[in-house]
Amino acid sequence: MTRIRKNTIKKVQWTRLKNYDLKLKGKDPISYSYRDIKAFEQMFWKTFVSKKQYGLRSGIEGVIGSFKRFFGECVCSKIKCNIENELRIRCNVWNLMLI
């Protein structure tokens, strides 16, 4: 999910006020698009970030990327239990380097 631009959120806020005014006058409200509904969710950005856990994936992917740069993307073993042991050893070495 991408962050909605501020001017879209302002447009949605205006539409919301206009719908309230139309409702008071007894007229049909303006319909919202899918993007407008997503903008509603993001109107209060800090609560949106904590609720949807936005932005956490990039930190995890950074660690995985640096691990792959250091050790490479391939393993030497072909047997499943040996693959697990090899990756376990690599993770232990990685953790020792971080200390």
- The predicted-structure confidence for 26-46, as pLDDT tens digits, reads as follows 887 777 666 676 777 777 777
Mean pLDDT computed over every residue of the chain:
81
Query: Rounded distance, CA 73 to CA 60, Å?
Result: 16
Q: Which residue has the tokens 């376990």?
A: 88
Q: Residue 59 — very low, low, confident or very high, per pLDDT cuts 50/70/90?
A: confident
Which of 31, 7, 9 is closest to 19 using CA atoms?
31
pTM of the predicted structure, to 2 decimals: 0.48
Q: Average pLDDT for residues 6-24, to the nearest whole number?
A: 71
Residue ranges of domains in the chain: 6-54, 57-98
